[in-house]
Amino acid sequence: MDPIRWTVGGRTVKELHRIAKLKVEISLTRGVGLTEWEFEHKHVNVGQLIGKGQYGEVRKGTLKLKSGTVVTVAIKSVSGALKSYLRKNKDFITKEERSQMALGAAWGIEHLHKKNILHRDIAARNCLYDQDSAVKISDFGLSRTGVQYKMKTSKKMPIRWMAPESIATFMFTRKTDVYSFGVLIYEIYSSQDPYTEIGPGAVRKKIVDGEFNVFPVGTPDDLIKFVKEKMWNKDPEQRADMDKARFSTFF
């Protein structure tokens, strides 16, 4: 079990663990002089392929800091984005493969919870995947240590994946991760984003009112029932823990 490391100027400043044989590294080509450092998707632009081989590929990219400074990063990854894979292969992915995708993600989230970490941004765009391996959960700066986290100020958030209590009170817990995992399962079986046909305001209302995404034909009925009752339940206490949610992937 290897760590995912964020490396600044040769020094690791953030480390999470996941169930995987390989590690993904994002390293700056020069230091930025920060002791605490994190970034989101929008800060990193992945570009030119530098090289690839047995251990994956390395791409050149840029990282834009809050100060406006842009630095170069090297990104090593052995997997592609799950979201892209789902879109490109939506007509060819078997039910068994989708089930394995959900299981891999569940293992990763469960492991984070055991390490006392909240992910807070579970979605297909934050997962890596290749057909010879499992889904790997990645993090772009929203994860926090602890069993709950309350945002002090409002900021732009991925509401299509958020639990109703997170939208209403900015509170995040393991149960809100479970809710988001249910949305990820919807992404895996539908090969599309949640609530694609409506805007953010309407999405917010549907989530708070408990109006769910409609799973496509062919999704196991028992899985749909479990997601609606044990992941998307408006009462967080009625939602399953991740170890129970993991078993739902076998339906």
Q: What is the pLDDT of residues 171-200, one digit of tens each?
A: 999 999 999 999 999 999 999 999 999 999
C-alpha closest to that of 122 among 79, 91, 162 = 162
Residue 143's Cβ-side half-sphere holds a number of Cα atoms within 13 Å equal to 22
DSSP state of 214: P
54-111 per-position pLDDT tens digit = 335 555 566 565 555 544 454 555 567 899 999 999 999 999 999 999 999 999 999 9
Residues making up the annotated binding site for ATP are 76
Q: Taking all residues of the chain, what is their mean pLDDT, rounded to a whole number?
A: 78
Cβ neighbours of residue 35 closer than 8 Å, sequence gap 6 or more: 13
Q: Which of 56, 78, 100 is the last residue of a domain?
A: 78
Q: Which of 12, 44, 78 is the last residue of a domain?
A: 78
Q: Which of 78, 97, 129 is the last residue of a domain?
A: 78
* 31 and 136 share one domain: no
* pLDDT score of 152: 81
Pairing relationship of beta strands 136-137 and 171-173 according to DSSP bridges: unpaired
* 117 and 223 share one domain: yes
What is the span of the domain harbouring residue 195?
A: 81-250
For residue 186, give the amino acid letter: Y
Structure tokens at 64: 């834009």
* 8 and 64 share one domain: yes
Active site residues: 121
